[in-house]
């Protein structure tokens, strides 16, 4: 049910600001790219000058929904059914790792970060576009209150996940952070040390 409704409910945000944010972020991808949790394939048409994209997605339903966008991609994309916590790739396999609006739903985001770092080459990029726990105390409290119901409706999405702390707590050099919607969404360009 969530897979069927995702694009419909996200369309207003995607048509306006999110598409621009994704384009600005994905233009920084290079070489062989791994996308974590590709969902309905919203990023697929936005990849431009990369060698190849390997997209992982654990949900069969999301993979089915991504087929149309797969055809719209200007670059070769290989879809692999896999969760982010156990990636089926050797160490140092990818020049760029991409995660967009996915770290909120991964059951074990710490393990997913370990895996993303493992498969990224030294000096490679990790690009993120995520919603995060807000700095504003009232809004952060609201995220806490809404999360239990939100998780049930939105396939496990945790509104209150402190994704920025997760990213900062790993062996990454943060090259750029951009904030959107009063700090609810961040895009980050990071480099593996």
The pLDDT, as a whole number, for residue 139 is 77
The enclosing domain of 60 has a CATH number of 3.40.50.150
The pLDDT, as a whole number, for residue 4 is 52
24-42 pLDDT per residue, tens: 999 999 999 999 999 999 9
How many CA within 13 A on the CB side of residue 111?
A: 9
Residue 126 to residue 177: CA distance in whole angstroms? 12
- Region 156-169 average pLDDT: 83
Q: What percent of the chain has pLDDT over 90?
A: 64
Question: Of residues 149 and 22, which shows the higher confidence score?
Answer: 22
Tokens 């149309």 identify what position? 68
Mean per-residue pLDDT over the chain, rounded = 88
81-113 pLDDT per residue, tens: 999 999 999 999 999 999 999 998 899 999 999
- Region 151-157 average pLDDT: 68
Question: Of residues 128 and 170, which shows the higher confidence score?
Answer: 128
The pLDDT, as a whole number, for residue 3 is 46
10 — pLDDT class (breaks 50, 70, 90): low
**Predicted confidence (pLDDT) at residue 185 exceeds the cutoff of 50:** yes
147 — pLDDT class (breaks 50, 70, 90): low
pTM above threshold 0.85: yes
Residue ranges making up the domain that contains 40: 1-192
Say how many domains are in the chain: 1
**Predicted confidence (pLDDT) at residue 116 exceeds the cutoff of 80:** yes
14 — pLDDT class (breaks 50, 70, 90): low
3-class DSSP string for the chain: CHHHHHHHHHHHHHHHHHHHHHHHHHCCCCCEEEEECCCCCCCHHHCCCCCEEEEECCCHHHHHHCHHHHHHCCCCEEEECCCCCCCCCCCCCEEEEEEECCCCCCCCHHHHHHHHHHHEEEEEEEEEEEECCCCCHHHHHHHHHHHHHHHHHCCCCCCCCCHHHHHHCCCEEEEEEEEECCCCEEEEEEEEC
């Amino acid at each position: 049910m969530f897979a069927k409704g995702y694009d419909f409910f996200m369309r207003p945000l995607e048509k306006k600001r999110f598409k621009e944010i994704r384009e600005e972020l994905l233009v920084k991808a290079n070489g062989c790219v791994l996308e974590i949790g590709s969902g309905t394939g919203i990023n697929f048409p936005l990849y431009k000058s990369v060698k190849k994209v390997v997209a992982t997605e654990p949900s069969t339903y999301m993979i089915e929904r991504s087929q149309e966008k797969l055809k719209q991609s200007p670059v070769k994309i290989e879809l692999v059914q896999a969760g982010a916590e156990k990636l089926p790739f050797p160490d140092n396999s990818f020049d760029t790792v991409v995660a967009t609006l996915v770290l909120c739903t991964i059951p074990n985001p710490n393990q997913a970060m370990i895996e993303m770092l493992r498969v990224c080459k030294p000096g490679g990029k990790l690009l993120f576009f995520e919603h995060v726990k807000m700095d504003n105390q009232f809004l952060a409290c609201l995220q806490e209150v809404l999360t239990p119901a939100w998780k049930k409706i939105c396939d496990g999405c945790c509104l209150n996940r402190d994704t920025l702390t997760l990213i900062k707590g790993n062996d990454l050099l943060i090259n750029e952070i951009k904030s959107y919607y009063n700090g609810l969404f961040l895009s980050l360009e990071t480099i593996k040390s």
